[in-house]
A and B are shown apart, each in its own frame.
Chain A
Amino acid sequence: MSDHMDVADDAAFEPKVWDLGPETEYRFELDPGMCLVIVVLRGNAEIFGAELVEGKQHVFAGECKAAVYTWKGCSIEVTGRPSTEYTSDETLPMTAYANLHIAFEQMRVKALAHLRGSPIPDGPSRVTSESPRVLVLGPENSGKTSACKVLVNYAARSRMGWVPVLVNTDPREGGWAVPGAITAAPVAAPITTPSASLPLGAAASSAPTINPSNALLPLVYCYGHTDVQRNHLLLDRVIRNLGASVGDRFEANPEARSSGVVVDTPSTFAAGPANTASVRSKLIRACVDAFKINVILVIGHEKLNIEMQRTYGSQLTVVKIPKSGGVVELDPSYRDRILNMQLHTYFYGESFTPPPGLKLRSNAVYGGEALSDLVLSPASTTVGFEELAVWQIGEKSLAPSSALPVGATRTVSEMQPILIDPSKPGSGLLNAVLALLALPADGDERERYDEEVLDLGVVGFLVVTAIDIPRRKMTILSPSPMVFAGRTAIRGSVEWQEQ
């Protein structure tokens, strides 16, 4: 490259100071491999409701697309070269989130008072004494996940110290695990999302954490596919299992219930081809039932709003809220890249290269964490074919109809666990992402049943990195060391790609 270009390149990495007025935001998008560093020079600034710490270098990477919002105004210093950056005062959704937070806060304090049996002197009688259990629906790129994060983060920031449960039912997003997972996690401190590979913050690793929200303890179930339509019966069942577990948690600790639940959903719940309408409404119904939803938020979609009002208006509150103008239209390959990045991050943690010419200080943080412990070391183990039983759930292509029970309907086959034989060439196990299942309870054997594999929680995800058919062995990548003998795993359709 010419000197001229170099000069231009260098100039692009000079820190830029942005002065943001009250209720405005600085939006940025990062290309793959790019890194951005933001320092709050003065004032208060937050990203998806999580406050930044003044003076610290906050690092963003991994195709992060986000907005630094300020209620009262702030100055920020930005170093790096985002593919897009601009300020905006079209922040109506933030006003809506703020009002929703106050309304939900009213529900929470009333729920807590009700639970404690303390009298509620006055206050709007229309506020129910139920904690907010919110389902967020919206089409692609409408900002559902952003809305969920802001609402959950505001609750966690309340002086009441709520610990809301954030639920992710979007299998493409993967929550705190990998794509294909359906998850829920209690959120005690604001979630920070420095990278698109951590859309909801990070699940716990053995690395020490400063920020409790980087050691989230999710409950994980396996759906195994990113496409909602692929096996909607299974998704329905997994959602209901997760809902029952969230209910059990509230049962075990009634005060935790008052913090409420926020449920993020796939955009395919909100819109799609006409022939998927019945599946969509079935899955929405599954969510409403499973999480005992009392508020549905519909983001910027009038048709769906009307549909929800009509279906649920009599039993719960349906509110339409504005779509964020800052929501990014994503290019088609983006989802694939993010999927690979998420898988990689799950096993290997994070890495990035700081903007050229910028020296990161030792107090720089990535999603609230010091930069020293971002890289993780997974384990690789060779196991015999007999040790780890790998199942798949009702894949027609691999279960010839001759194998179906006589008279079995297609419904049965979709939900039927089928054991995979790794010694068969074309078993499809190589590079498959497996969900390692929890053990069934050590209890009454009579409670055991064959479809247990559909209902067991996930302990972690694995990748089959090599298969040696002659020696009947396969090599398994796992996040931590593990004894696999006697364990069961499920194979979905998510595949590992070496980076």
Chain B
Amino acid sequence: MSVYNQPPAQQHHYGYRQPMPPAHGHHGYGGGYRAPPPPAQHVYQSDPAAFRHVYSTRLAELTMNSRPIIQGLSMLAQEQTRYSSIVAQCIEAHIRRIPPTMKLPAFYLLDAISKNVYVPYAAEFTPFVVPLFLETYDLVDNNTRSKMEEMLLTWRTGSPVGKELFGIGPQVAIERGIWGDGGNAASGSSSRVTPNQVMSELDFAIGQQERTLQSRPHDVAMQNNLAILHQLHALVAAGVSQPELKQILNQLRTLMRNSASTSAPPPIAASPPPPPPPQHQAPYAQPQNHYWKQDLYPQQQIPHPAPMPAVKIEPASALLPAAGSPDILSMLTNLVKSGVVSSNGTPIGAGSSSVQEIPDEKPDSDRLESRAYRDSILRHSVALTTSDVTRPRNHLIIECLYDTQSTQCKQCGQRFADSPSGQKKLEKHLDMHFVQNRQASQQTGRGHHRGWFISLDDWINDTVDVKGKGVDRGPARGRAAEAADQVKRNEELRAMFVVVPPGDEAKSIRCPICKETLKSEFLEDDEEWVWKNAVKKDDTVYHATCHSEAAASATTLVTRLIADDSSSRSRSVTPETNGRIASPRSSPLKNIKSESSSAATLVPGSPSSLAGMKRKAEYDEDGAIRAEEAPLKKVAV
């Protein structure tokens, strides 16, 4: 049975015989509008104008990324396929009319309808999807653009049989429009490829892989694949040459095409979500490849059977090989062969043993190496005298800095020794880039700011990663590990939530610190509405990340008073505070505090930290800090 024809059961339920829609080939997008179906027994049955009015009115509510609204509009479209051209006109007009910030949710609606009710909607949208996408893309900010790119990539395999959602022509036209000629999946190798495009495709592959990993969290091979993709991403982000970009892109596409057509992993049971509270604004999830596997619609609410027939259920992982597939590894091997990733510079951290051979070293080969270096450097004769330091022996420095360190990181230019330990350091170094790039990708869209300076204690004890001197430096940890910790802490903070009090679902509240609206979300498992990335302190809800950051930078005293437990979690997001003063560095003028001068230098009643006052601070509505004096804890002697 054709997977995208309407099921007979649905026709029966409607109580009329809907004509089978013309079977749209994947290249049949040019066919234009279909003849409207015969009228149905429904409220809108005889009145297209009434339907248009209802649909456009409800569409006007789609001003933000709200899953309930998108669901509702999708369901309405699904029920009224005979008015598909009206739906299409309404959506097109809506997207053209609304300001850029509201366009993405409308595209999500278009995306959801096309994928869920492929026939007849994909064909309805096809005539205008190219100009509409490109014009919108021009107007929106970078963050929205990358979301649109991600959506566009799902369209490549968005049809029920895994082909282009709107046909290959429109797909290529859009990709060419935003990425240039290189975007053309079918185009020859002569065209230019932009890093943005490759990054988008890598992002997409990574997203697919991550979703699959969620269902198989312990799949090591999958984790490795993911790590390699991340590192390729880091590599591209840091900048590679045009031929290298093309190679990466071609390999990635070959990989995706092969795996998309061959793999058919076991189906995943779709569990329908509970009905969301009506007035709530939950965001619509990122577009998936296919929706069939996770029906958007709560089936028990629909009085007729699910709209789509039992199609082959394809998990999102279809795009990338399943566990143990050699494809990513062979892809990397090819990249190594072609020199995109030097065999020295192969991103490691994942599957390294199969990608490249690193000789098993004796534990202290590092030491042997550094001893050899020491002996060689000590053989030279350079005296620290004015005349000797100007005597040219430049071959020494060239040997030291360049010739014996011919492997260079293409991201930052650092060099590594041509030796086993040099290779190991390179691996660690690339790991660091990987972590930092991942951090970067998680931080897009947030404003950045200069950090507070590190505390004396941390500065003294936290030795920056010594790029692998080959010794265990005990508790002192590398910068990469720390960055990873920080990523983890931020993830934990972002995962925190506060349950929305019943009745407050529609209320929009702002974080007192950053003044931005807290995002709410419906937790499927717990069946309740929550504010994400939120903590509640003294009846005030903050972003968990904002609160943690502010708490970390607050005094320990104030921290204790206002932040309780959250302060411990936020240890070194911005590691300052707690400046230790071991002892007075130079003899302090000990007696001055008892002299009369202190009265002259201290304004009465004006507390300072020196006076050791205990105070209570609260955020007021403006996010400013209000402090109340508490009884003196200690007065200067």
Q: Which residues of A contact B (CB under 8 A)?
A: 23, 44, 50-53, 55-56, 71-72, 92, 95-96, 98-103, 105-106, 109-110, 112-113, 116, 118, 120-124, 126-127, 154, 157-163, 177, 186, 188-190, 203-212, 215, 217-220, 237, 240-241, 244-245, 248-249, 251-253, 255-256, 259, 295, 305, 317, 319-322, 346-347, 349, 361-363, 365, 368, 370, 373, 375-379, 381-387, 389, 391, 399, 403-406, 408, 412, 415-419, 421, 437-442, 445, 447-460, 479-488
Asked if B598 is at the interface (CB within 8 A of a chain A CB), the reply is yes
A sample of 16 cross-chain residue pairs with beta-carbon separation below 8 angstroms, ordered by A number, consists of: A71-B402, A99-B391, A118-B367, A126-B383, A161-B469, A188-B467, A249-B459, A361-B239, A368-B412, A375-B448, A379-B449, A439-B609, A450-B610, A455-B588, A460-B576, A486-B617
Asked if B606 is at the interface (CB within 8 A of a chain A CB), the reply is yes
Could you tell me the distance between the alpha carbons of A72 and B395 in the complex, rounded to whole angstroms? 10
Asked if B301 is at the interface (CB within 8 A of a chain A CB), the reply is no
With both beta carbons as reference points, the residue of chain A lying nearest to B380 in the complex is identified as A102
- CB interface residues, B 349-366, toward A, < 8 Å: none
Residue in B240, B578, B584 whose beta carbon sits within 8 Å of that of A441 in the complex: B578
Q: A206-B443, A421-B606 are in contact. Are A485 and B394 (CB under 8 A)?
A: no
Q: Which residues of A contact B41 (CB under 8 A)?
A: none
- Determine whether the beta carbon of B634 is less than 8 Å from that of A212: no
Residue in B390, B468, B582 whose beta carbon sits within 8 Å of that of A248 in the complex: B582
- Determine whether the beta carbon of B624 is less than 8 Å from that of A109: no
Q: A317-B384, A383-B624 are in contact. Are A438 and B476 (CB under 8 A)?
A: no
Q: Which residues of A contact B565 (CB under 8 A)?
A: none
Whole-angstrom distance between the Cβ of B264 and the nearest chain A Cβ: 37
Asked if B300 is at the interface (CB within 8 A of a chain A CB), the reply is no
- Determine whether the beta carbon of B195 is less than 8 Å from that of A363: yes
- Determine whether the beta carbon of A482 is less than 8 Å from that of B579: no
Q: Which residues of A contact B464 (CB under 8 A)?
A: 163, 186, 188, 212, 217
Q: A389-B608, A453-B610, A455-B584 are in contact. Are A101 and B634 (CB under 8 A)?
A: no
Asked if B237 is at the interface (CB within 8 A of a chain A CB), the reply is yes
With both beta carbons as reference points, the residue of chain A lying nearest to B425 in the complex is identified as A161
Q: Which residues of A contact B393 (CB under 8 A)?
A: 98-99, 102
Q: A217-B459, A387-B625, A450-B593 are in contact. Are A488 and B608 (CB under 8 A)?
A: yes
Could you tell me the distance between the alpha carbons of A250 and B596 in the complex, rounded to whole angstroms? 41
With both beta carbons as reference points, the residue of chain A lying nearest to B546 in the complex is identified as A481
Whole-angstrom distance between the Cβ of B483 and the nearest chain A Cβ: 9
Whole-angstrom distance between the Cβ of B348 and the nearest chain A Cβ: 17
Q: A370-B237, A479-B452 are in contact. Are A437 and B579 (CB under 8 A)?
A: yes
With both beta carbons as reference points, the residue of chain A lying nearest to B459 in the complex is identified as A219
Could you tell me the distance between the alpha carbons of A384 and B417 in the complex, rounded to whole angstroms? 56
Q: Mark B575-607, 1 if CB is under 8 A from A, else 0.
A: 011111111111011101101111011110011
Other A-B pairs, 4, CB within 8 Å; known A158-B400, A205-B449, A218-B453? A118-B367, A215-B479, A408-B595, A483-B551
Q: Mark B364-376, 1 if CB is under 8 A from A, else 0.
A: 0001001101110
- Determine whether the beta carbon of A98 is less than 8 Å from that of B394: yes
Whole-angstrom distance between the Cβ of A106 and the nearest chain B Cβ: 6
Q: Which residues of A contact B386 (CB under 8 A)?
A: 305, 319-321
Q: Which residues of B contact A438 (CB under 8 A)?
A: 455-456, 576-579
- Determine whether the beta carbon of B378 is less than 8 Å from that of A110: yes
Residue in A322, A362, A381, A448 whose beta carbon sits within 8 Å of that of B625 in the complex: A381
Q: Which residues of B contact A349 (CB under 8 A)?
A: 448, 450
Asked if B61 is at the interface (CB within 8 A of a chain A CB), the reply is no
Q: Which residues of B contact A377 (CB under 8 A)?
A: 447-449
- Determine whether the beta carbon of A163 is less than 8 Å from that of B463: yes
Q: Which residues of A contact B417 (CB under 8 A)?
A: 159
- Determine whether the beta carbon of A212 is less than 8 Å from that of B398: no
With both beta carbons as reference points, the residue of chain B lying nearest to A105 in the complex is identified as B377
With both beta carbons as reference points, the residue of chain A lying nearest to B436 in the complex is identified as A208
Shortest Cβ-Cβ A-B pairs, 4 listed: A438-B579, A363-B239, A123-B378, A208-B440
- Determine whether the beta carbon of B453 is less than 8 Å from that of A457: yes
- Determine whether the beta carbon of A378 is less than 8 Å from that of B394: no
Asked if B312 is at the interface (CB within 8 A of a chain A CB), the reply is no
- Determine whether the beta carbon of B400 is less than 8 Å from that of A440: no
- Determine whether the beta carbon of B412 is less than 8 Å from that of A211: yes
Whole-angstrom distance between the Cβ of A42 and the nearest chain B Cβ: 13
Could you tell me the distance between the alpha carbons of A124 and B439 in the complex, rounded to whole angstroms? 47
Could you tell me the distance between the alpha carbons of A361 and B180 in the complex, rounded to whole angstroms? 14
Q: Which residues of B contact A378 (CB under 8 A)?
A: 449-450
Q: Which residues of A contact B422 (CB under 8 A)?
A: 159
- Determine whether the beta carbon of B597 is less than 8 Å from that of A408: yes
Query: Chain A CB within 10 Å — which of B555, B562, B578 has the most?
Result: B555
Q: Which residues of A contact B450 (CB under 8 A)?
A: 203-206, 346-347, 349, 376, 378, 460, 479-480
- Determine whether the beta carbon of A103 is less than 8 Å from that of B384: yes
- Determine whether the beta carbon of B555 is less than 8 Å from that of A487: yes
- Determine whether the beta carbon of A485 is less than 8 Å from that of B555: yes
Could you tell me the distance between the alpha carbons of A378 and B447 in the complex, rounded to whole angstroms? 9
Residue in B459, B551, B607 whose beta carbon sits within 8 Å of that of A386 in the complex: B607
Could you tell me the distance between the alpha carbons of A486 and B443 in the complex, rounded to whole angstroms? 31
Could you tell me the distance between the alpha carbons of A159 and B549 in the complex, rounded to whole angstroms? 37
- Determine whether the beta carbon of A384 is less than 8 Å from that of B448: no
Could you tell me the distance between the alpha carbons of A215 and B448 in the complex, rounded to whole angstroms? 13
Asked if B334 is at the interface (CB within 8 A of a chain A CB), the reply is no
Asked if B294 is at the interface (CB within 8 A of a chain A CB), the reply is no
Asked if B42 is at the interface (CB within 8 A of a chain A CB), the reply is no
Could you tell me the distance between the alpha carbons of A237 and B586 in the complex, rounded to whole angstroms? 7
Q: Which residues of A contact B401 (CB under 8 A)?
A: 71, 154, 157-158
Q: A159-B422, A438-B455, A451-B592 are in contact. Are A124 and B467 (CB under 8 A)?
A: no
Could you tell me the distance between the alpha carbons of A218 and B196 in the complex, rounded to whole angstroms? 34
Residue in A157, A365, A449 whose beta carbon sits within 8 Å of that of B415 in the complex: A157
Could you tell me the distance between the alpha carbons of A219 and B455 in the complex, rounded to whole angstroms? 7
Asked if B26 is at the interface (CB within 8 A of a chain A CB), the reply is no
Q: A248-B582, A448-B612 are in contact. Are A404 and B597 (CB under 8 A)?
A: yes
Q: Which residues of A contact B590 (CB under 8 A)?
A: 449
Could you tell me the distance between the alpha carbons of A44 and B415 in the complex, rounded to whole angstroms? 12
Asked if B185 is at the interface (CB within 8 A of a chain A CB), the reply is no
- Determine whether the beta carbon of A71 is less than 8 Å from that of B466: no
Asked if B414 is at the interface (CB within 8 A of a chain A CB), the reply is yes
Q: Which residues of A contact B239 (CB under 8 A)?
A: 53, 55-56, 361-363, 365
With both beta carbons as reference points, the residue of chain A lying nearest to B396 in the complex is identified as A102
Q: Which residues of B contact A412 (CB under 8 A)?
A: 589, 592
Asked if B343 is at the interface (CB within 8 A of a chain A CB), the reply is no
Q: A123-B379, A483-B550, A485-B615 are in contact. Are A440 and B453 (CB under 8 A)?
A: no
Q: A248-B582, A457-B579, A480-B553 are in contact. Are A121 and B608 (CB under 8 A)?
A: no
Q: Which residues of B contact A379 (CB under 8 A)?
A: 449
Whole-angstrom distance between the Cβ of A369 and the nearest chain B Cβ: 9
- Determine whether the beta carbon of B592 is less than 8 Å from that of A71: no
Residue in B377, B391, B479, B577 whose beta carbon sits within 8 Å of that of A459 in the complex: B577
With both beta carbons as reference points, the residue of chain B lying nearest to A23 in the complex is identified as B394
- Determine whether the beta carbon of B390 is less than 8 Å from that of A321: yes
Could you tell me the distance between the alpha carbons of A167 and B412 in the complex, rounded to whole angstroms? 24
With both beta carbons as reference points, the residue of chain A lying nearest to B551 in the complex is identified as A483
Q: A110-B378, A450-B636 are in contact. Are A455 and B585 (CB under 8 A)?
A: yes
- Determine whether the beta carbon of B378 is less than 8 Å from that of A127: yes
Could you tell me the distance between the alpha carbons of A442 and B558 in the complex, rounded to whole angstroms? 12
Whole-angstrom distance between the Cβ of A135 and the nearest chain B Cβ: 13
- Determine whether the beta carbon of A98 is less than 8 Å from that of B396: yes
Whole-angstrom distance between the Cβ of A280 and the nearest chain B Cβ: 19
Whole-angstrom distance between the Cβ of A245 and the nearest chain B Cβ: 6
Q: Which residues of B contact A244 (CB under 8 A)?
A: 585
- Determine whether the beta carbon of B375 is less than 8 Å from that of A416: no
Could you tell me the distance between the alpha carbons of A208 and B445 in the complex, rounded to whole angstroms? 12
- Determine whether the beta carbon of B466 is less than 8 Å from that of A206: no
